[in-house]
Structure 1
Amino acid sequence: METPTLDPAPAYALWAASYPAYAHNPLMHAEERAMLALMPGRLEGQQVVDAGCGSGRYLRHAMARGATTLVGVDLSGPMLARATALFDDAPSDARIALAQGDLAALPLPDGSADVLLCGLAVGHVPDLGAVLHEFARVARPGATLVVSDFHPVGAALGWRRDFRAEGQRYAVRHATHYYSHWHAACARAGLAIDAVAEPMLDPADIPPGAHFDPIALEVPVALVFRLRRLAS
């Protein structure tokens, strides 16, 4: 049976009920290690924006690094509903806001982020330039942005971002953004590329008996950037 491919909004409406707020597969573990290595070690006094926050995975990591002013934006209302669990675990002085919005049209004022995070979401928007332009608008000059996506080698190998819901397997529509696209889009948006990581799977993360493409152990599975907002 062919796996239906859904646009992000209906896909995450189905997926949200079972989508945890932590890395839950080997690829996500590899991506998360790279993201955390490129994020600032301490975030006290920083306003942190998580664009495409989903169920709140990187908002939790930001809180663990001392952030108390956080904003999460996601296209999916059901995923944001999962992220509200953050309020139960947040320190008493935390100010957390969650808002529904598109990555290319964030409901945030100019220059409002000291740190902007985006994990595995930019591929849901075909126009990478529009997303990075919006990230640059929201970031203050000098701000750090840490952004990840699925590595384009996965698309070349035919891998899909799929999930199971209500007894059916689905795939989420996803655009492939090559490094050359990132380089050009960052230059147009006024973002400097400070660091790039291409993490690979750790065999220790793969559960016994798992079915997967063995070449996945030989190629990078994510593309992770640390960017800096240049002064206007």
Structure 2
Amino acid sequence: MPVATIVNACAIILGSLIGVLLGRNFPDRVRTIVYQGIGLSVLVIGIDMALKYDNIVLVVFSVLLGAVTGELLRLDQRLTNLGNILKNRIKSRDTGFTDGFVTASLIFCIGSMAILGSIDEGIRGERTILLTKSILDGFISIPLASTYGMGVLFSALPVLIYQGSITIAASQSQAFFTPMIITQITAVGGLLIMGIGISLLDIKKVNVTNLLPSIVYVVFFAWILN
């Protein structure tokens, strides 16, 4: 059972509720500097992860194929549609609901802590990584929710599904997740995280959603080479 993932989802919900309650009482200047801090932190984490590759050609090839696949499948539009459906279901009037749902989902789901932590819990029953991630996600949810509203809270759903699925899969196929595969996943995940950091810093809008298939490709190619 993905216990740590459930704790992670609860931390996001709690942080989001605090952020929604603060709302306009959260000073703009504080919100701005917090976003910049988050953006810089996410960017550095992404760079650190991306440099841990075993095979750079494999990483680049996976990202390029993933970009084409994601664009053809219009994953960004599908995720946006999901956000709009949730917004309509709960009859939310938050203008930033969908943006908050998409942004928070990407921040919380993509990264070494989400992937490696889920694998670690599935294989060894070790929950330290995901519990640490839960604390970070809970604090990050506060400024996000104060800006975007309830959409951030509902990002707990994809986190629950995504990390929980990885944990269950890892527990059933421990031999599959070799060190090489984990390293390559980390490298590609790092590139995607860099894209999130660049977007948060308003340097350039990177469509990270449509790059998500890159993770599937790198697992497949790493498995073949392995």
Q: Comparing both structures, which one devotes a greater share of its residues to helix?
A: 2
State the TM-score bracket (shorter-chain normalisation): under 0.3
TM-score normalised by L of structure 1: 0.26
TM-score normalised by L of structure 2: 0.27
Q: Comparing both structures, which one devotes a greater share of its residues to strand?
A: 1
